[in-house]
Amino acid sequence: MSEKVYVNICDKRKCPGPVYAVKKGDTLYSIAQKYHCRVRTLLDLNPFVDIYNLQPGEEICVLDCRGQGKVDFRPYVVKEGDTLGGILKNVSMSFEELAKVNRILYNLIVPAGTILLIPGKKEEK
């Protein structure tokens, strides 16, 4: 009998948390419970995971939420014309605070040719 080889569905370089090797009997729900995160989070981090056929040895990206305490979230649906700056002002948060619970923000693509202003070091007088 030949041994099955599974393609890892996780890009280890882009995973914001630990990489988890699936064990026999694991489900996305049981893995989410182990790491105190939501199944939706696992699906967002692993868009190509076959939720109906997890195989032992497959590696998936997880977000370890242990120790963060219970956080109450309220959804915000981005509207046409919203800007990130406007949303941050509206919800009274910094980019870092919002990105900590919305990892998608760290992967935003800035169009080529965009000119960003980077502050220089302040001169001390």
| Whether residues 56 and 77 fall in one domain | no
Task: Report the CATH number that the domain containing residue 52 is assigned in CATH.
Answer: 3.10.350.10
Asked whether residue 59 is domain-assigned, the answer is yes
Residue 32: inside a domain: yes
Residue 103 lies in a domain: yes
Residues 6+ apart with CB under 8 A from 25: none
pLDDT digits (tens, 9 = 90+) for 49-79: 888 888 899 988 888 776 555 556 778 888 8
Q: Are residues 89 and 52 in the same domain?
A: no
Same domain, 81 and 50: no
Does 124 map to a domain?
no
pLDDT of 1 > 60? The answer is no
Q: What's the residue count for the chain? A: 125
Return mean pLDDT, the chain. Answer: 80
Q: Are residues 107 and 63 in the same domain?
A: no
Answer yes or no: do 56 and 91 share one domain: no
pTM for the whole structure? 0.47
Residues 50 and 15 in one domain: yes
DSSP 44-105: HH-TT--TT---TT-EEE----TTS--------PPPTT--HHHHHHHHT--HHHHHHH-GGG
**What's the number of domains the chain is made of?**
2
Full domain range(s) for residue 38 = 1-67
Residue 23 pLDDT greater than 90, yes or no: yes
For residues 86 and 107, state if they share a domain.
yes
Q: Are residues 79 and 19 in the same domain?
A: no
Contact 58, 8 (CB under 8 A): yes
pLDDT classification of 4: cutoffs 50, 70, 90: very low
- Which CA distances in Å does 2 have to 5, 106? 9, 41
pLDDT score of 7 more than 50 = no
Give the pLDDT confidence of 27-38 residue by residue, as tens digits: 988 998 888 888
Query: pLDDT tens digits, residue range 71-122?
Result: 567 788 888 999 889 998 988 888 888 887 787 787 788 888 888 888 887 7
